[in-house]
A and B are shown apart, each in its own frame.
Chain A
Amino acid sequence: MNASHNFRKTSAAAVADEVLGAAVGKTANILFSLRGAAVAGYPGFEELRDWGRSRKMEVSGDLGPYARRFADRLEAAGGHAHFARDGREAVEIIKAIAGRVGAASAVKSKSMTAEEISCNEGLAHAGVTVTETDLGEFIIQLAGEKPSHIVAPAIHKDRAQVAELFHEALGSAPGLDVGDLVRVARKALREQFLSADIGITGANFAVAQTGTIAIVTNEGNGRLTSALPSVQIVVAGIDKMIPELSDLPGFLTLLTRSATGQVISSYVTMITGPRRQGEEDGPKELHVVLLDNGRSALASGRFREMLHCLHCGACLNSCPVYRAVGGHAYESVYPGPMGDVLSPLLWGMDAYPDLPDACTLCGRCAEVCPMRIPLPEYHRKLRVLRAGLKGEAAGWRAQAWASMAENPLLYRAGVGAVRRVLSHVRGLPAKMNGGLPGAWTLCRELPHPQEGPDFRSWWEKRQKGPSGKPE
């Protein structure tokens, strides 16, 4: 990570990119609508959210024991568990496995946790070529970029850009449509699947009771990655624990309906140990790298519920800031509302000083979060925490506003005064140039109060009306 990221600067550049804005806005909006329909079509979804939160509270309150139980059960099923304190340790473990089996190539099914530890770069140093097999990840790997969404990593590219990229990198005909582009990728990636020495996947869930890993994909790359290579390495944050196998159906419902609005994704694969006697596919060796990287510290603090995150991306799709700037402006593996909170917590406030500001506190992320993580509240807490770290007191304007807002009489008098002033300056344009008025009207218009009585006077009069009934 760089010393300090500057979201104000990167977001300004992102807003100026019209292709980016259109592509991100379109896809985020589709995913947001699909989620809305899928949730509306599932009676009891709200209760399921409460249930999910309470199950994850049990886990986050006891993270270490759950992870150790998972590791024990995995070992009993013939797999190998590795605990990694941080990303560097995790990469060393993965490199050591690759070195021992003499691997030259790996196929990888999308994993944000592997992205978090820069797994591909680490393996490249050890001479192992990693091919991303999720279509979105494959696209951005060819483009030499980073994912810009935790579920739809190539959300910032439109079809014309992908067609051009495939034309240049894979020699396909120019100007292909989406269906043809998918076929080009299928053919190119199939060869990699059939020859790779190692398969690397993430985990959507890790079941402590049975040592089972659950992987959710639509494309089938997760299945292929865990079926063909003789060694499979799973990279999982210790926050991926769920207590029992019987918890899986509920969590899958929360995840897929929130992420893509699907009743279920095309493939849900539950892996318990390596290939068993007589079986025709699956890895002969199964390794699960359990990554801490700051997670156990979160468990004991006031941002504990971040550990409940299912990485569904619903908060990204709902966020007006994310929709306007896309993922790259955040300069973190984790963009959008969950990333605003997670990035400073995992990598330090110094590295991401202004991400807590990348939020209008509109509250949509909390509305859609399947785990009811109080994301707006966490943004606010981080701002307070940052002010404390910098030894800042609130400015005089904020203090004046606070004392006014805390006193109803004063507040009403203040609003009345502003209203009177605004009624007298009716001639002013809605947009102004320069100075404070210019800055204030840059993305909003100067309000002109309506004619007649204000709302309060109208309401009071209405309440006291002769009949006492609505007019």
Chain B
Amino acid sequence: MSNPEILERYIAMARAAGTDVECVSETELPVRLAAALPASGGNIAALSASGWPRGLRERVVARLASSGFEVTAPRKEEGGGYSWDIDRLAAAPVGIVWCEHYLADTGSLVLVSGPGMGGLATLLPEISLVLSPAQGCLGDLADYLQKTGGSPPSRITLATGPSRTGDIEATMTKGVHGPGKVVHFIIGA
């Protein structure tokens, strides 16, 4: 499949799983991002520290500031480690991360661990905003695993739609432990 075809399939599958998908240009992004910020629940936004394309993180931070949001991010420690201020992270109603790859077949985001990158910003806040490049769409998990060449990162999470449960009378309910709302911005589509 060509890139536009798999992208189209991704969008259909992700929407079916409950993800809000927005295709945006790089210039539109700040405005669209600001529109997705929560109106209540506090003004802290959790941002992953690294993995962003050059310059984008700074632009996102500037936009958040003009919308009245403070940013919390993992702090670099001596010795090269990163750690969150857990109290501030837990108080953040929204988390924003960059995600390089996502899978058409299942409508999944591929969230990977790495220095300054982890799972918490897409997990603890009620709203998860995820930014990706249009060319990052892959066919399926097999395609992604092939890229890892048999030595996977310590954590790979396929996140598909919001957190949900059917544990009470098989009634699907969103936002159990993770986000109840996931917005995926695909840049340059």
Contacts and interface: CB of A to CB of B under 8 A. Distances in A.
Contact of B115 (A27, A219, A260, A279): A279
Interface string A236-255: 00000000011011001000
A435 interface: no
Interface stretch (B21-29, B35-43, B144-152): B144-152
Contact of A26 (B74, B117, B169): B169
B167 A154 contact: yes
B167 A136 contact: yes
A242 to B, nearest CB: 13
The interface residues of chain B, by DSSP majority, are classed as loop
Interface stretch (A82-90, A180-188, A307-315, A426-434): A180-188
B49 interface: yes
B176 interface: yes
Contact of A267 (B48, B105, B163): B163
Contacts of B152: 210, 212, 245, 270, 272
Contacts of A274: 154
A179 interface: yes
Interface in B76-94: 80-84, 86, 90
A246 B142 contact: yes
Interface residues of B, number: 60
B142 A189 contact: no
A224 B171 CA distance: 23
Interface in B100-129: 105-108, 113-120, 123-124
Nearest to A34: B170
Interface in A216-273: 218-221, 223-224, 226-228, 245-246, 248-249, 252, 260, 263-273
B13 interface: yes
Interface string A372-403: 00000000000000000000000000000000
Contacts of B113: 275-276, 279, 281-282
Interface in A18-65: 23, 26-27, 30-31
A266 B163 contact: yes
Interface of A: 23, 26-27, 30-31, 77, 133-136, 139, 152-154, 157-159, 162, 178-179, 181-183, 185-186, 189-190, 193-194, 209-210, 212, 218-221, 223-224, 226-228, 245-246, 248-249, 252, 260, 263-282
Given A136-B165, A266-B17, 11 more contacts: A135-B168, A178-B169, A186-B177, A218-B164, A220-B163, A223-B177, A267-B159, A269-B156, A270-B157, A276-B113, A282-B154
